[in-house]
Amino acid sequence: MANVGLRHGESVNFTVRGNCMQILVNGESVAVRRQRLYLPGDVVVVRRRDHWNAHRFLGYALGVHGVIALTQADEAVRRDPAALVRAIVGRAECGVTVGDRVTALGRYARALLHRPIEGGRWAP
């Protein structure tokens, strides 16, 4: 499944593998819905080169190759490698608390302060 190709508002179910997210349970089925805009704290599924991640969305940034998404697993110390926004499959339909959003915003601010820069934009 290289590309789900969801349109705005369409959804697909994924089975969770792993325990890196506090809100998702290994083996659980979760619906993922395509949206136009993602907010800090949302759990988004990102298509990577050889796998898919369901991690917390931190925010957007301008990268060398366009607008990128910054994500991080709840249980991770460091954030994920930046991904182009077009690699976001959609938002997992699971509960997001105010605390989740505040934590994501804090991680986003930290990422902005320590960003790898190349020519004034995020490096890959």
> What is the per-residue pLDDT across 79-115, written as a single tens digit (0 to 9) for each?
898 899 999 999 999 989 999 999 999 999 988 887 7
Tell me if 5 is assigned to some domain: no
Structure letter (DSSP) for residue 85: G
Quick count: other Cβ atoms within 10 Å of Cβ 23? Answer: 17
Is position 121 within any domain?
no
Token pair recorded at residue 30: 């979760």
Contacts of 86 (CB under 8 A, 6+ apart): 66
Let me know if residue 124 belongs to a domain: no
4 burial class (0-12, 13-18, 19+ CB within 10 angstroms)?
middle
- The range of the structural domain enclosing residue 38 comes to 11-116
- Global pTM reads 0.84
Closest CA to 90 of 21, 24, 38: 38
Residue 3 lies in a domain: no
- Residue 57 inside a domain? The answer is yes
What does the DSSP 8-state code read for residue 123? -
Q: Could you give the number of structural domains in the chain?
A: 1
Say which CATH number the domain at 109 has: 2.10.109
- Tell me whether residue 44 is in a domain: yes
